[in-house]
Structure 1
Amino acid sequence: MSTKIAVICSKAFMERINSIAQNIENIQLEFYLYNQPTEAPVLLKEIKPCDALLFGGTLPYLHTQSALSAIPIPWNYIKQDETTISTTLLSLIANHAVPLNRISIDVMNPAIVENVLTEIEYRGPKPYIQPISITKPTQSILQHHIALWEANSIDFIITSIHSVFDELQALQIPAMRMLDATNSIIQCLEETKSRSLLTKSESVKAVVGLLQAPENKPIDANMLTQITAATHSTYKQITAYSFELYTTAGHLQRALEKENLQNLLQQTSKPFKLAFGYGHSIFEAHQHAKNALSFAKPCEIYILDEHKNLLGPFPNSEARLALKTDDPYVLQMAKQTSLSPLNISKIINFSRERQSAQFTSHNLAEYLQVTRRTTERIIKKLVDNGYAKVVGEEMTHQQGRPRTIYELNFATY
């Protein structure tokens, strides 16, 4: 099946990319043409269902950048780089024999031209370089070129803006468009196609969810209906207090992005736990969901992906915690302290999320969701091996021993 790519570009770029796209298998291009790059946001709203989106340059991309977060498909754009500048300058010298100091050129990033001139060890007078930005009107760029031409300061113009080229042609001023290298366009098309295929494969990945209510508080049928609708799930009842859900990664991701699940959690008067697992099989996804559920408190959602990364809790945060690790630093700590790599990873995450470097065993116990005694054993192992140190005591408002204050004594970033 071919990958359908919507292309927002000028007519001139359409003709160029059409001739190149024939070299790539299984892609279909559908064009949305503008006269000026400023029209790109309007064209974005006209795009029909497709697999990916491509902009024919940096300028139309910049004009639509703020709206791209709402686009559910991958997108890409043709970038202006050193290869583009080098190809264009070589064509100018070979076909028009114009000295570099007698040209005016407009580019997205003037530093790229400087880089090319440095690389070729050019030491002569430099060309007139005009930066392009979305805040600079196209007519202003055109008038600057024309002024240099009329002042007899230049013999030729290179422009990145197709409408500017058309107007210069109408005025019979020698000009050429920036030449995007064929290999760069092919690479961009292949990359866009690959992003689409990856997005599709990720979206259909199997996901198992576990929905659990407190004992003696059966899950409300209406709430179950809303959860399955939000995640496009089918379900199987395990007990009166628990259900298994079956969906895909794409459906779950969209439910989280729209905060449908989070809103349901906050609205219910009967708190429940919800966890999801990704996997390469239903069995693996179910096991990951089961592991994720052990972290969830009422009204929280956790996800354990196929790489054993724990994501959540939603809606309060979206922290990522690795439940397996091949980090030699963590493994060395685990070996020295006799703590599991998982506990080391949790302690590192605990440190990153705290506003203060100092903590008590009570703080850590709350975070790890284990007993005070278990936490004190963990801290003792850290202190004994030099990974934590005592820095003071905290007096409580109630009677009893003061709480010891600790600081971690190892890199956590």
Structure 2
Amino acid sequence: MITIALFGSEETVTLVKRYEKRIEQIEIQAFCYRTVADLEELLPQATHCDVYLFSGILPYVHAERLVQTFDKPAVYIADNELNVSLTLLSVVHHRLASLDRISIDLPDQQDLDIIIEQLQIDPEPKYVTDFAWVKTDKSKAFQMNPILDFHLGWWKAGKTDLAITSIHAVYDQLVHLGVPSLRMVDAEKTILDALKDAKHAGILQKTELSQVAVSTMAISPKEKEHDISPSDLEPLFTGLQELAKQVNGTVQQLTSESFVFYGTRGGIEFLMEHLELLDPVLSIAEQLSVYLHLGSGFGLTLVDAKNNATIALAYAQKQEAAHSFIVVTEDKTVINPQDTMDQHVLSTNDEQIILSAKTLKISVMNVIKMIQFLKSRPVNRFTSGDIADYFGITKRSAERMLKKYMDVGWLEVIGEEQPFQNGRPRSIYRLHLPLSYS
């Protein structure tokens, strides 16, 4: 039985609880909030649960800022094209307003643009705003008032007859102010998928007898000028789902150009022995004129497997003009299944690394892992939070580790960022290791 801590408004919690019995072996424990600020009090109350499920990306990001690194799997119910299309259908079916006289906010305007293009909607919504930046810019705190003012402004100007919002708090305020409003529809499939993802994440976290495998997949266009739309990738995602079934795993799309696979070591080893299973996916990638890079990591824990998958993907992406598949095992052995002669171990007899470890008074593996961390980043610029995420440790432990590098003069502070309005600024570091890691 997987216990899921569900964080959301009372309305969302009531909706999601309806589907609890549709997924076997899960139990939902609800933690209702009026605003996301309540999460600071609610999160400590859910430590006994196996996995966190947030009602949307905003509470997820806010909670992530509060704890820096989740101590257990955390997923959220995504807004997507299905939710948007059902919402627009509801507006049209119930004749609530003409689509060119609605204001709408949503996490990513691309979801709306795709629907408008595919269905050739006319007239199309004119007054649209999104907050896609929350997925990438963790230093900027989300503010509700600009979204509220966006809807209120167009309505007061007589340009709109209906406001559609994906934020519960905005909806409540609009209703209080007398603005005709509608909440974005939460599609049944979206909720069920989120519950399945939460269950699977919880199972992986609880599994101790079998090794976890995480595979991160990224694509790169063969031609730099080649733009790939999300709709173009639908056949690739379908192909990856079929591949995942054959190795007893599940796949999720992370961004428009990356995917993650969760499964077991046995499943990936089966794939390594039967590379022909990749052929249908590679064929789709060829049709899209993209390269597919697959990095798989093994580990005794989900955190270890994710870290090893990150290292594997960094190796895979070095093969810029070819499809690539790299595996990093729990003992840091790097394997190229497409070339059985290409295998090496990240543990080392390198005297420079051994000397560095002695100077820092840390393990050789720690130095090797720091090298891989730097290689996996586009620029030598990071915070203690980045180190904590990559190493799978607490922020305090990360800061203690960085102090060792600082004490020997290999770490410098190059700036700071203010992730929270009232919090302490965080230092931004650059590391200068006295050895080659290219």
TM-score normalised to the size of structure 2?
0.49
Q: How big is the shift at 1:60?
A: 0.6
Decide which moves more: 31-40 or 172-181: 31-40
Query: 1:83 and 1:73 mapped to 2: Cα distance?
Result: 28
3-state DSSP of counterpart to 2:343: helix
Does structure 1 residue 8 correspond to structure 2 residue 7? yes
Equivalence for 1:96:
95
Give, in whole Å, the separation in 2 of the partners of 1:174 and 1:117. 23
Aligned counterpart, 1:79: 78
Q: Partners of 1:349 and 1:67 in 2: how far apart?
A: 35
Match of 1:321 among 315, 320, 334: 334
Specify the alignment match of 1:120 in structure 2.
119
Q: What corresponds to 2:156 in structure 1?
A: 150
Residue by residue over 1:340-390, the C-alpha shift from the partner in whole angstroms, topping out at 9 and shown as x without a partner, is x2xx3239999xxx9xxxxxxxxxxxxxxxxxxxxxxxxxxxxxxxxxxxx
Shift in alpha-carbon separation, 1:123–1:326, aligned structure 2, 3 A: same
CA distance in 2, matches of 1:15, 1:149: 30
Aligned 8 A contact 1:204 1:250 in 2: no
> What residue is the counterpart of 2:26 in the other structure?
27
Structure 1 55/136 Cα, relative in aligned 2: closer, same or farther at 3 Å? Answer: closer
Tell me if structure 2 keeps the 8 A contact 1:321–1:349: no
RMSD, aligned α-carbons: 3.6
Partner Cα separation in structure 2 for residue 145 and residue 100 of structure 1: 14
- Where has structure 1 moved over 6 Å in runs of 4 or more? 251-254, 347-350
Which residue number in structure 1 is paired with residue 181 of structure 2? 175
Structure 2: state its 5+ residue gaps.
135-139, 212-298, 308-325, 353-437
Q: Within 5 A, what are the aligned runs for 1:360-371?
A: none
Distance 1:251 1:183, change over 3 A: closer
Cα distance in 2 for residues equivalent to 1:153 and 1:252:
50
Task: Give the number of equivalent residue pairs.
Answer: 239
2:179 is the counterpart of 1:166: no
1:168 alignment partner AA: L
Question: 1:162, CA displacement in angstroms?
Answer: 0.8
Q: Would you say the 8 A contact 1:11–1:34 is kept in 2?
A: yes
- The separation in 2 between residues aligned to 1:140 and 1:326, in whole angstroms, is 51
* Inter-partner Cα distance in structure 2 for 1:33 and 1:119: 37
> Deviation at 1:7?
1.0
**Could you tell me which amino acid in structure 2 is paired with residue 15 of structure 1?**
T
Q: How does 1:110-259 map to 2 (within 5 A)?
A: 110-132=109-131, 135-201=141-207, 203-205=208-210, 249=300
Tell me if structure 2 keeps the 8 A contact 1:9–1:56: yes
The aligned residue for residue 388 of structure 1 is none
- Match of 2:344, SS state, is helix
Q: Do 2:39 and 2:63's aligned partners in 1 also have CA atoms closer than 8 Å?
A: yes
Give, in whole Å, the separation in 1 of the partners of 2:192 and 2:93: 24
SS of the residue aligned with 1:187?
helix
- CA offset at residue 182 of structure 1? 0.5
Greater CA radius of gyration, 1 or 2?
Answer: 1
Higher relative contact order (CA 8 A, sep 6+): 2
Q: What is the alpha-carbon distance in structure 2 between the residues aligned to residue 150 and residue 82 of structure 1?
A: 29
Structure 1: give runs of 5+ residues left out of the alignment: 207-247, 257-306, 313-318, 332-340, 355-412
1:82 is displaced (CA, Å) by 0.7
Within 2, Cα distance between the matches of 1:86 and 1:249? 41
1:345 corresponds in structure 2 to 343
Cα distance in 2 for residues equivalent to 1:150 and 1:252: 50
Contact 2:12 2:55 in 1 (8 A): yes
Is this contact kept in 1: 2:6–2:53, CA < 8 A? yes
* 1:334 alignment partner in structure 2: none
Residue type matched to 1:92 in 2? V
C-alpha distance in structure 2 between counterparts of 1:95 and 1:148, whole Å: 22
Matches for 1:371-382 after TM superposition, within 5 Å? none
What is the CA-CA distance between 1:180 and the residue it aligns to?
Answer: 1.2
Q: Secondary structure at the match of 1:54?
A: strand
Counterparts in 2 of 1:308 and 1:104: CA distance versus 1, 3 Å:
closer
CA–CA distance in structure 1, aligned partners of residues 344 and 149 of structure 2: 60
1:204 is matched by which residue type in structure 2?
Answer: L
